[in-house]
Structure 1
Amino acid sequence: MPLFTRKRVALLIAVIAAGTAGAAWLQSKKPPTVPESRYRSALVDSGTITQTVTATGTINPVALINVGSQVSGTVVELKADFNDHVKKGQVLLKLDPTIFNAQIRQVEAGLASAEASMRLAQANFDRNERLVAQNYVSSLTLDQARRELDVAKANIKLSQAQLARAQADLDNSVIRAPIDGVVIKRTIDLGQTVAASFTTPNLFQIAKDLTKMQIDTSVSEADVGALKDGQPAHFVVDAYPDREFAASMRQFRLAANVVQNVVTYNVVLDVENKEELLKPGMTAQVRLVVGNRPNVLRIPTAALRFRLSDEELEKEQKKQKADGKPAPAVPAPAEEDDIAFRSKNETARIFKVYKLDEKNEAKPVDIKIGLSNFRYTEVLSGELKKGDKVITRANASAKSEF
């Protein structure tokens, strides 16, 4: 019996044809292979965006008093040192009182002499007054006696004023604390001479209360439109890099500072320092919170800066032309986004971003953005939804292909 008959060959051909058709059908049902993307992307999500203004400032006491001396002399007693807590009226140092005591005795002697001269002038005046009444002397003699009496009285007042000044100099030789506080600086030593001839020397610096501090900082003119008194702030210092401290804006000062044509304004922030961890003079890196919006649609801010290269644009145009579709116009260079912090009247802006389509190709999308910081930007409107992938930059391998 022959192995290959017509019937068997026909059956074999039918089986092969059916298998080929089945394989083709299965292949047609398989999802198309999506090429690997040439770009790095991030998901569009929803969350909170906080807009801040950054600045660098110095921590200072709220009240810092310079204690000086109105008189000159040699320090004979020093009763306060660095970091000492002092009370108002407490003695800080004493100057040598020898010269001041001598001046008081000298003025007292002058006062006694003036009083003796006044008694003599009074007696002469009374005598001449009786003689004039009896017509023994002329009225001119009485006028002269009256003048001498007035001069004597004036000399007494002068001596009394000199005595008061000498006593004040003696009192000022004892330097006292003008407020309750902490001595943070001392510039005088025992035995040193204080010279107060032309300017008042600063002997001590006293901080009123180190549990309440302030940050003196400066803010760029571009950011002042978003600032308001009472706004919250956060800051860090180098001494405690892992800890963030809270503050609040107390005052915006109108006087502008211009350095090399750069305009800044002074801003003062209040800081609670109950643990006294913050010290005068520390440098603070400050973030002022000027805007906060919860649960908004947002994209990474880096997506605003991404642009297709010239080679990619040219390739896309050729592809569109080969497919018989009109080539898209080359987009005009977008306005440079410096990711600076802006005031409320600048929050609505139009930008072009790129998202990945179903074939992992870049597709341009126009969006309107709101609040922005260094990480995220709010999307107010546009063809973006939660879960879309926006391009942030090209892969290194993709750049090498062009």
Structure 2
Amino acid sequence: MKFALTTGQRRLAAVIFVSAAFLAPLAGCGKDEKKAEAEKSVDAIAMFETPAIAKQLIEPIIGTGTIAPAKTTTLGPRVTGIIDKIDVYVGARVKEGDPLFHTRDVEIRLRVAELENQVKLAKAEVRNTSRAFERANELHASGFVSNGGLDNAQAAKDAANAKLGIAQAQLASAKQMLDDCTVRAPFDGVITRRDVDEGKYMATMGGMMGMSAPGGGSDVPGMGGGGGGGGVLQIMKIDIVAAIVQIPETDLKRIKVGTKGKIVIDSMGRSFDSYVVILNDLIDTNTRGVEVRLPILNADYAVKPGLFARAELYPEPRNVLALKRSALQGTENSRYVFVAENGVAKRVPVKVRQIDAESVEVLSGLSEGQRALTGPNLPLLAEGIPVKIETVAANTAETEADAASTPQ
């Protein structure tokens, strides 16, 4: 069956056909634009940003060395003779003035007794000559004694006084020798070496035995210092000890007396806060090192001389431009970072210096506040690739995740 269309119906059909033909290309154009935008959004790589930040940096100076006592003295006899008695042993704690060892003193005691009697005789002679002078002086006033006689009496008196003075000096010397037969501790300390036993005959070596310098060793060659074996005992003062360490001469300009530091003794598993108390003016020409000394209070004698020690010195801080190492790309000789510019990645060459495992110091290439791209997609970046910057919150979360996954 066929239906005939009226004139109005034919006109309506024509309008619908024309409209459909006109709108079809427009609909297709809208889809293409949305597709292009979607493709562009997919191609942009999600990245985080980390800023270059100005901060103060303290770079520790590391040195190694040895623990040394405050004082070391090797003690020998003060009087030539046989070592009769040694009162202490290695490891003994002694106080200043405690007796340490004795030289046989029998002959000296006899000499003291002899000189005491000589002093008595000299005093008696002084009394006699003094009385004789007084009588001569009285008779001289009466004219019974000549001037020559008075002068003779005066001379006899003066000679007797001189003899008394000599006898008294000799007695004092002998008593000092008797006292020197007992060698006493020159300071509070600990006995660290014993070179001889009782019965050993020892000379005083010119009376210079036992001279030593604070901090260890003798200033007189061959005079018993530093393990030379020329003395009887060695004593060390260790209620205060010092770490004697060497640092590179290149760091000399960064430290001074008073620079704070920390001493680490690995064998004890302990560390001690300290400071530079001595900065040696002599540079070691073999090691190109500078000697510094840092004291440690050691009232319990726990820190032993000779222990290996490490020192960390903390000089004054300096201003640096710091950047997270995670933003760094390239090799050691060709470092660079990426920054976002007009929505795309731009490669920026930089020169850096290592600070620690997480940060570097930017020497050139970036300015303060400038942001470098970072994140897990960093290896995918190249010059001109579109990037999409994640929010600060996301960046923080990503940083915490990286920190949690970083081996300690």
TM-score range for the pair, normalised by the shorter chain length: 0.5 to 0.7
Report the equivalent of 1:377: 360
Q: Is the 8 A contact 1:94 1:175 kept in 2?
A: yes
1:200 aligns with 2:212: no
Amino acid at match of 2:236: A
Matched residue of 2:111: which SS? helix
1:280 counterpart = 2:305: yes
Cα offset, 1:245, TM superposition: 1.4
Match of 1:365 among 345, 349, 363: 349
| Cα contact 1:92–1:176 (8 A) shared by 2 | yes
Counting only pairs closer than 5 Å after superposition, residues 143-182 of structure 1 correspond to structure 2 as 143-182=151-190
Q: Is the 8 A contact 1:87 1:180 kept in 2?
A: yes
Match of 1:92 among 91, 100, 103: 100
- Alignment correspondent of 2:272: 246
Counterpart of 2:362 in structure 1: which amino acid? V
1:3-402 correspondence runs (5 A): 29=39, 51-198=59-206, 199-201=208-210, 202-210=231-239, 212-237=240-265, 239-240=267-268, 243-253=269-279, 255-260=281-286, 264-273=289-298, 276-290=301-315, 296-299=322-325, 306-307=332-333, 353-355=335-337, 363-367=347-351, 372=355, 376-379=359-362, 381-382=366-367, 385=372, 387=374
Say if 1:132 and 1:142, in contact at 8 Å, map to a contact too: yes
Give the number of aligned pairs: 308
Flag the 1:127–1:274 CA change in 2: closer, same or farther, 3 A: closer
* Alpha-carbon distance in 2 for matches of 1:102, 1:304: 91
Residue 376 of structure 1 and its aligned partner are, at CA, apart by: 4.6
Are the structure 2 counterparts of residues 170 and 120 from structure 1 closer, same or farther at C-alpha, using a change threshold of 3 Å?
same
Deviation per residue, 1:28-64 (Å, 9 max, x gap): 95978x9xxxxxxxx9999996511111222122344
**1:161 Cα offset (Å):** 1.6
> What RMSD over aligned residues (CA atoms) do the two structures have, in Å?
4.3
TM-score (normalizing by structure 2): 0.61
Q: Check whether the contact 2:322–2:360 (CA below 8 A) recurs between aligned residues.
A: no
Q: Which amino acid aligns with 2:95?
A: K
Matched residues in 1 for 2:244 and 2:171: separation?
A: 46
Deviations 1:177-223, CA, capped at 9 Å, x for gaps: 2333322233342222232142224543333344x422122333321
Amino acid at match of 2:185: A
User: Would the aligned equivalents of 2:65 and 2:243 in 1 still touch at CA under 8 Å?
Assistant: yes
**Partner of 1:207: helix, strand, or coil?**
strand
Partner of residue 313, structure 1: none
Structure 1: 5+ residue stretches without partners: 1-21, 35-42, 309-352, 392-402
- Superposed structure 1 runs of 4+ greater than 6 Å apart: 43-49, 292-295, 302-305, 388-391
Q: Which consecutive residues of structure 2, in runs of 5 or more, have no partner in the other structure? A: 1-31, 211-230, 380-408
Identity over the aligned pairs, expressed in percent? 23
C-alpha contact 2:323 2:362 (8 A) present in aligned 1:
yes
User: What letter matches 1:354 in structure 2?
Assistant: Y
Taking the aligned partners of 1:362 and 1:82, their CA distance within structure 2 comes to: 73
Shift in Å at residue 90 of structure 1?
A: 1.8
Q: How far is the alpha carbon of 1:150 from its aligned partner?
A: 0.7
Secondary structure of 2:197's counterpart equals coil
What CA distance in whole angstroms lies between the structure 1 residues aligned with 2:143 and 2:161? Answer: 27
**1:163: Cα distance to partner?**
0.8
Comparing 69-78 with 119-128, which one deviates more in the overlay?
Answer: 119-128
Give TM-score, length-normalised by structure 1.
Answer: 0.62
CA distance in 2, matches of 1:304, 1:154: 96
Equivalent-residue separation in structure 1 for 2:79 and 2:303 (angstroms):
36
Letter aligned with residue 150 of structure 1: D
Distance 2:302 2:140 in 1: 85
Is the contact made by 2:72 and 2:236 (CA closer than 8 Å) also made in structure 1? yes
Q: Whole-Å Cα distance in 2 between the matches of residues 368 and 238 of structure 1?
A: 33
**For each residue in 1:135-173, what CA deviation from the matched residue of structure 2 results, as whole angstroms up to 9, or x when unmatched?**
344211210110111110121122112111111111111
Q: Does the CA contact (< 8 Å) of 1:49 and 1:377 recur in 2?
A: no
Write the letter of the residue equivalent to 1:220: P
CA pair 97-357 structure 1, distance change in 2 beyond 3 A: same
